[in-house]
Amino acid sequence: MKNAFRFLFGALVILFSLPVFCQVDFSASQVKGCDSLSVRFTLLTGLSSPKVRWNFGNGKTSQEIDPAPVAYQKPGSYTVTVTVNDTIIRKKTGYVQVRPSPVASFQYTDSSVPGTYIFAFHSLQQPVDTALYFYQWKFPGQTLYDTTPDVVHIFDSTGLYRVFLRVTDDFGCADSSIRLVYVGESLYVPNVFTPNEDGLNDLLEIPVSGEVMYRLSIFTRYGLLVYKTESKFPS
């Protein structure tokens, strides 16, 4: 505020020059995202060459009118404040929202029914329970979209297949992964046999196809090991 002194008709007149009220605001390139979020802030004011001080809520400050992009590397809610000419303050509480990135990791199990190639896939738990996640699964000849982490896929035949998973949240953050899934014949192993030469269940037979490596152990009903063998090469 500036004061002016003038003499008018022999009297001292004090003139006050009041500052013109000016609104101050700011915007951001983005305010929602996942860890390692980079945000550029823009000051919105009609003041010419103002004195500025930013507080970005993450321990970082700046005195630049046009500050460099600010990195938010940890999940959380951040309050941003800008002070202009030491008097005008604009504060936005919880302005920047940062979440942990989704995790595209999954497990799978196959069917225990011989002759079938049914697999159940399950995406592991995501870091934020309240967020909405979208799952994209890619199998040979099939792509599935869902908001639940569990899907079932039937493969056409045995073999080694690439399975792709992409997880996206409602902030637009995403993660993806690929796993190789081996689809083989279901292995049926009898859990009991009676080699007493009565013609019933005298032999232990484990049907397999192709070349496999194996380790076989046979125990009595009391848990005593009576036989053990292991293949050194595919047979």
Q: What is the pLDDT of residues 143-156, one digit of tens each?
A: 999 999 999 999 99
Place of tokens 């003139």: 15
pTM of the model: 0.63
Indicate the fold that domain 106-183 takes in CATH: Immunoglobulin-like (2.60.40)
Q: What is the pLDDT of residues 49-97, one digit of tens each?
A: 899 999 999 999 999 999 999 999 999 999 999 999 998 899 999 999 9
Strands 106-110 and 70-72: unpaired
**pLDDT at site 10:** 55
User: 19-99 and 106-183 share one CATH topology?
Assistant: yes
Q: Is the pLDDT of residue 160 over 80?
A: yes
Per DSSP, the three-state class of 89 is strand
**pLDDT at site 48:** 84
Q: Where are the domains of the chain?
A: 19-99, 106-183, 187-235
Nearest to 209 by CA among 190, 181, 183: 183
Q: What is the CATH number of domain 19-99?
A: 2.60.40.10
**pLDDT at site 215:** 83
> Contact 128/152 with Cβ under 8 angstroms?
no
